Structure 1
């Protein structure tokens, strides 16, 4: 059932703080909740195809949970994959659980590895804070992955390279990293939607290059 919440900031409005209560940090925010109000997924990218993919992932997860509750066997791996795609567990818990599955095909191993990396990236991006040691460590790990040429699945790439561009510009003052971010952001199908911001980043890169010894 679709539900629209608008934060009014008007005193006395019922449930006006719902967005922050559910962990939302920006406008607009799209979340998928179950009947009890628990978060099943929060939309990463803003493309319609991304919305549809997340909705299908939620439907798959709920279907598997229903079938398992009815006693169907052999659903452990597909249910685990569904939970991974929705980010319903921590990276460490997911990594430990992944090690319990035996006799996986190469395709299944690759799918789990990709989903685990996505989960780790989400966790690192959420942890980023230039004013805390944990946040700085998260930034360092993200930079390490970027410099190694690693990136998450398409739904996360805009947020991934966008955050790294901030780290390159405001935290590390690293023009090489910023250039890598620009290259990858321009490669995104939706790059035309934020061309103005990319041009501003290009200008910032030129300024940083001029300041190099």
Structure 2
């Protein structure tokens, strides 16, 4: 569960990216945030990821005020979050397989289990046959799908995606993850431009 209580975020002492934001997202819900560039969508996600702290108000995740987390607790908290980045952020010198496996390597998952999860995630996004390819060999839409596979392979409790880029085409099928409590639909950007979306737990069961 995520709760924003009267949250504000000010930059440079003048610019309010967010002002008096109140909302709640319950377990299993999917939420889409839309708005023009500069509306504060990315700032909101950065607060949830604990990359920044609110200027005012509180951000609660699972009942905890994440601004109060000790520095030593933040890495563990972030490992519970899967993120699909706007610019993919793939390692260009590593294969698709190893890009998806990276979160599992960091976490110390046993190699055989890691291989199973990576291949299941790549299969779900239709890229298992390209596991040995480098990112530069893929189209923009395929790179986006690699980012999606990497975001879910670690079985996160929370999935965030920041403005999926318009690299997919109308001929590309939507990707759907069947979860324990809900289906997480990765909506193609042509049907909902400039969308930032996040969905709460269950995605881990897809892998």
Q: TM-score, normalised by structure 2?
A: 0.30
Give the structure, 1 or 2, with the largest relative contact order (CA under 8 Å, sep 6 or more): 2
Higher helix share: 1
Q: Bigger radius of gyration, 1 or 2?
A: 1
Q: TM-score, normalised by structure 1?
A: 0.30
